[in-house]
Each structure stands twice: as structure tokens, then as C-alpha cells.
Structure 1
Amino acid sequence: MTRWRRSLARLGGHTPAGRDTVVAAVLAVLGLGRIPLALLLNDGRLPSAGWVVATATVLSTLDFAAIALRRRTPLPALGGAVAVVLAATALPAAYWLTGIGVVVCAYTVATLLPRGQAVVALSVAAAAHAVGGIVSTALGGHLHLVATFWAYDGGAPASVVLISAGTFALPGLVGLYVQTTRAYAAELAARVGRLEEERELRAEAAAAQERARIARELHDVAAHDLSAIVVQAGAADRLVERDPAQARDALRAIRTQGRRTLTAMRQLVGIMRAGDTDVASLSTVDGLVTASRDLGMTVTVEVTGTVAPLSPAADIAAYRLVQEGLTNARQHAPGAAVSIAVVYRAAGVSVTVRNGRAEAPGTGGGGHGLVGMRERIRHCGGELRVGPADGGGWEIAARLPLARQESA
């Protein structure tokens, strides 16, 4: 079936109406081809008078032409096909396949028109077909010469009516079934689309509610822990001269409380960022590389191994590591080439940012980026190494765990 459709497309049948035209043209050519075949089989003589053969050929061609028009104008095409069939019964000879257009057009009317209108149209066409057959028989016509009368000679009017009813009822029922199936499939597709939209809306609403809940938790954590830190700092200030040992204990408690607060806030903010379309991710470092190259830096990136997902915290940490490495190279080793290597292994992923020797003195001062980076890497269960690179230059490397895969 696919090969047949491709052949029709090459002939110009890129649309359903175009394919109908191609099919009608092919049938018409085959119908004309029966004339030389008849001459060959009858020693160069026509099987009937010339005007009969010519008229039968024209009617057969018009019957096929109805197929070409069936989608554009289904009712006129059906009426024309019925008129062609009845005209063919008046000939003393005709092509037996005349009437195919009636069957095809009846099917088309049932598939394209509303159900009630299609039933009425097919009933009227069947009645006209039956009456025309009865009249043609009375005038000496030959019903058996066309396909829609099923080779019946028209002896009994009741049989003509029954045959006409079957001629239009069979393709009509098939067409109505196809129309119902298409409508059902379209309704299912529309329903699936609506359900998908509703699912996305529910997911967005749930995500918004979750982010709002996390924001409230973030406020509670900050308000509670920071207020405790303020109280402990006040106590340490009062004890710093009177009891230095207790003051140091208070300062240690402040440090512990601060770290715990920082960890909790990072976890909550990381979860909130997971719903942001602009979240930092190892998969988006190309933007950092492009921006650095635009500033004149020479940056190369190499990714090896099978790419695997990281946890949200590790994914952000990897992105920040690359960002920090590029920033350090730009500030402390201007002009040096920078290489970024990402290696995926079963145990985790390694991210390394290495820059060569500086071509000019650096202009950047000391900062706290690496301190924050070390804390970020440690928080997500990774390891960070910072120091001189082999062959000169500087290197920042981290090993980060992959996301845990849930078992089925």
C-alpha cells in the first residue's frame, strides 16, 4: 500500500483529490486500451458498430471521471455517475465495468456528508437508479451490461429495486462505518490532548504549591536559626572578657548552627531551582564556553564516557566548578589556553578545568570562590582538588556522584 501511494505521489497525487484524479486517469486510459485489444481479437473489426463503441467509451470515461470529483463535489459526482449508468443501459453494448464510479461515489458520500444527509442522498440515488432501470427495461434497455445491476437482465421490477438497494446500501454502510471510526479516532485524539493539557496544568500547579511550601520552609529556617545565632553572638560578646572559654563555646555553637543553616538553605534553594528553566546544569556549560571565547579565551571541551544524570545538587556544583575555573583562568592566567574535561564513569563523573601558563600577569585579586566551591562539592558528596597542573598552569578537578537510579 505504501509503495502504491508513493507511485501516485510521483504522478502528482500529493493530495487525496489529486490521487483520485490520477486513479481516474489511469482507469480511463485502461478503458481506451480495450479498443485496440478488441480490434486485435476480432481481426481488425470492432465488436459493435462504431458509434456504439464510441458512445460506450465516452460513458465509461465519464463514469471514471466521477471518481476524480468525488471529494470535491460528492453529490454531483454521485448524480452524474448514476446518470451515466442509466444512459449506458440504452446501448446495445457497453463496458461491463461501467458503474464503478457509482459504487465509489456512494461510499464517498457516506464518509464525507453528515449521517442524515448521506442516508437521504443514497436513498434518492438508489430510487433513481431503480426507476431508471425499470424504465430502461421497458424501453428495451440492457441492464446486464453495467456493473451496478449485477448482470441482471431486468425481468422483474422488484428485483431491480432490490439490486439497486444493495448497490447503494453496501458501500453506504461501509462509508458510514468509516465515518464513525474516523470521528471516534478524532474524538479520542482530542480527548488525549485535553488530558495532556490538564496533566501539565496540574503538574505546574503542584510544582508551584511545592515551591511555595519550600519558600515558607526557607523563611522558617532562616528566621529560626538566624535568631538563635544572634542570641548566641550576644552571649559570646558578653562573655568574651569575663569567661573566654564559654565565649569560645558560644562561637563554636554559632559556627555549627551557621553551617547547619547554610546546608538546609542550599538544599531548599536547590529544590526550588529544579523547577526553573534557567537552572545551572553540566549540560548547559556550552553557554559559559561560548561567552569565554567571545572574550578572547581559548577554550576546548572534551566529554568521554556514557552521559549519565547527576543529582540536582551535583549538577549545579559541576556547572559552578566550570564557571569558577574559567573565571580564575581569565583573572589569574590571561591569555592561557583552558581545557575542560568531563569523564563519565560507573562510579561518578570527573570534571576538570585546566589552564596553561599565563602569558601576562594576572589582574584578579584573591576571592572566596574556591572556598564556596569546596563547600558545594562536599555538600553533594563529591571531592575537590585544586593545585598546580602537570606541565605548568593550574587545575581545578572534582569527582561527583551520579544520581541514584530507583529500582523497578
Structure 2
Amino acid sequence: MGLWGHRRAVFDAVLALAVAATTAAGDGGVGRSLGGHDIAFLDREPPLWFAVPLGALVGVAVWRRRRWPECLVVLALAAWVTMGAFVALLLAQYTLAERTKSWRRVSVGTLVGAVLVGSPVWREGGPDAAVPLGLGLCAAPALLGLYVGTRRELVARMRERAERAEREQHQRVLQARSDERAQIARDMHDVVTHRVALMVLHATALEAAAGRDAVAIAGRIGGIGREALTELRSLVQVLRAEEGAPLAPLPGLADLRDLIAQSRDAGTPVTLDLVDESGDPPPAMVGHAVYRVVQEALANVHKHAGGAHAHVRVRRTPTELRLSVTNGRGGGSVLPGGGHGLLGVAERIRLVGGRLTAGPTSEGGFEISAEVPLEHGR
């Protein structure tokens, strides 16, 4: 761009000097004897003290023609009337049409130029000579300028649209990456938090058992660890997959009983009340979101309300699915919490069109509830 700007500046300077010289010289008298007739407004050539300053002014206007095309038109018409110089007039008509977006200005400039050019020719040779000369010196450059200006504007718009589309595509890619990172973070949190909480509880029970039932408890810890590793490998496989993610069923409402059984094995009394009034399985994403909410709620019970009784209630109608997980007052926090679990499951519920609320109960416990509308049972 810097090289192009330098070249354009050099070209403008050379063009300005050339037009200034030809204007000061009256284009060598060509305009006065065009077609064998003297078509200049003045009967004699202007003096040198007038021609040189006028040529210099026209040269300056040519140099600044892109910013002030109207000024160039006025000076070029003055040069034509006084000196019969038509080169500056050709350039002025072209520049006005190429640079301005107003059809009214172009029409006025072309009409005035055609009248001033054609009037002396009309006196000498009649309309047959005046009309072609006016069209050639004024209308033709204006039409060419309109074509070039319109084409340049069209190319600029197309380039702007392409750049805007590229920016929007880049923003969509960034948004998709952000959404994918959030999804991965939610999955990692749900998998790791719940499994690790169960393993810590079993390890605590193993320590308290003082060797009794050590084999059974250790087996449970090993089973939970293997399940956590399996789910983590699935997530890593999704991240590394190039052609497509491996297809595997997402845990849903049918897996709630196994999830609650794991919590019971860890020493947390949990009851399940599952009511399905529709008879059809819910959408996979809805069922998976509900599963993750229950998983997060039970993990919080394990971490922050050890030994508290928890109750999970799921009620599904043809138009709505309601979930509530309530626990009583527990024995205090066992594991630290990061504070991101509830935000993650709330986002999951929001993505399937539902709403999640969480807060303490009047009995000193905690309750998480969610409502997900279903469209005609789909």
C-alpha cells in the first residue's frame, strides 16, 4: 500500500504538470482550429500573464482533483472559454463523474460543459457539428467516469462484504470453540467431581473400618475409579477425534437408579421417586441434562452434607419434566468445592430450554429443582 501510494503521488504530480503546461499553451491552438473553424469564445489569444497563472491553477486543481473535482471543472471551463484548452476539460468531466456520487452534479456539469463547448461551434457549423463535439468533449468522459466510479464502488462493496463475512466466520469459530470448551469443562467437572467424591467417601469408610470389609470397600473404590477413567477416556477420545466423535449412548433417566445405588454404597441414604405419565422416553439431551443435575446434586451432598438423607423426585408429563433433589442437614463439608458445579448444570438445563433453581430449605438442608418444557412430548 505504501508503494502504491508513492506511485500514485508521482503520477498525479506528472499529470498536473503536463495539464498545466498544455493549458497554458492553449493546447497548441488545436481548439481554435478544430474542424477548420475558430471555436474559441475570444477572438484573440490571451496574454502570457493570464495564460501561465491560469495553467498553474488548473495544474493545482488536477493535483487535488480527487478531493475537489468541482473546482477542476470550473477552472477547466474557464480555460476552454478563454484559451480553447480542451484537455483539462476532458479530465475534469471524467473526474467529476468518477468521484462524485451525485447524479445531479454530474448532469449539471456535463450540461454546462456541453453548452459552453457547443455554442461557438453552433455559430460556425450548426447543430450537426455542435452536438457531436459537445458529446465527445463532455458526455463521453462523464459516461466513462460513471462506469469507472460505479465499478470501483461495487468492487469496494464486494471486498467489504467478503471481509465482513470473514470476520463473522472468525467470530463464529471463536464462539464455537468457547462453547466447546464450556461443554468439555462441564463434562470434566461432572465426571471427576462425582467419582472422586465417592472414592474419598469409600476411602474414609475404609479407614474407619479398621480392616473390616476392606476387600469389599477397596473393590468399590476400584470400580468407581475404573468408571471415572472410562468416562475420561471417552472425553479425551472426543477431543482427539479428527473424522468424528465416537458414538456412545449418553446417560439419562434410565441410569438414575445405578447412580443412586452408587451413592447408597458410599453411605448416603438416597430415595428415588420416578413418575412417568407419558410412557415415552424423553429426548436424549433432556434426559442427559437431568442425569447431570442429579449427579451434581448428590456429589454436593457427599461433599458438604455427609450422612444427610437425600430424596430425588422426577415427574414427567407429556408437556413438562420436573426434577427436585432435596437433602437434609448434614455433618458438614468433607471436600472443598469450586463453586462451578451448579453453574454448569444450570447452563445444561438452560440449553434444553429449562430453568434451574437452587437454595437452602427451611429445615437447614438444600434443594435443587429444574423444570424443562417438552414440545408435544418430543
TM category (shorter chain) comes to 0.3 to 0.5
With structure 2 as the length reference, what TM-score do the two structures score?
0.46
RCO comparison, higher one (Cα < 8 Å, 6+): 2
